[in-house]
Structure 1
């Protein structure tokens, strides 16, 4: 692009100097009155417009590339944060926490125990932003499928962990599977961020 601008500038300056000093008439014997100056000026205008178009296109294209890269990084950060919060809750739901602090507050007669629902939803509090990024094409089909799968497995794990708090043979396999899925997705996101 710089080469095009430099060559165009030199060409315009050269022709202008030749015309101003009337060098074609003085040294070469050319009659400048025979030259079609309207064609020359039209050509200069076309060259100027093309050069300005190329410059503008490149500047706008670079801005759009930066904007898209920023959106991709934001989507990766939001999803990674969600998965890290899931890991936090998995660790937090240990035997002592569940039996001493959560179970006494659960109303098992309720169809929607508030504490359980809050724990299930908290890691996914940025889902609205994530879905907007899906609509914008920043998150792939595979990424959102994995996200929804982890959300469903996390909800299932929390329900089983609290409901069957005294039956580790029920909730431990769910915990291992969920932790494995989260680990895989975090590795994928870390790889994308490093690119």
Structure 2
């Protein structure tokens, strides 16, 4: 009896560890992004509304970049928080940007419409921005200071409290 119980515990532990290793990136804290206080790599992305966003043109503003995908359940959980914060900080020098990755334009636009997220957003068509920022899981959010340095990144769902705290530190 004792041997069987011990084997069951070992099997359960192995199963748990194995499943953690095989979990998909969505919602997990598996990102290995650029380190905090590094210069944020510049990029230009076409926005769904027809304009474009160039990071280097945002100097003097706090920038919050949220990497998401339409198929990511966790990404949908955080959209109300991001939308509320975007409205709260709109008059201040804060630029929020959504970047859809590993997705199609049609699905990303549908995701934004369905979730009610109105921040400027675009599709990383080639995956270059995702790769440059070291994104391995979604959602992942970067906070960039007024001088263009990465202040903090968060892998996983962001809350209003986290967004507010990190933005307020940079204002």
The normalised TM-score by structure 2 is: 0.29
Q: Which has the higher strand share?
A: 2
The normalised TM-score by structure 1 is: 0.27
Based on CA coordinates, which of the two structures has the bigger radius of gyration?
A: 1
Q: Which has the higher helix share?
A: 1
Q: With CA pairs under 8 Å and 6+ residues apart, which has the higher RCO, 1 or 2?
A: 2
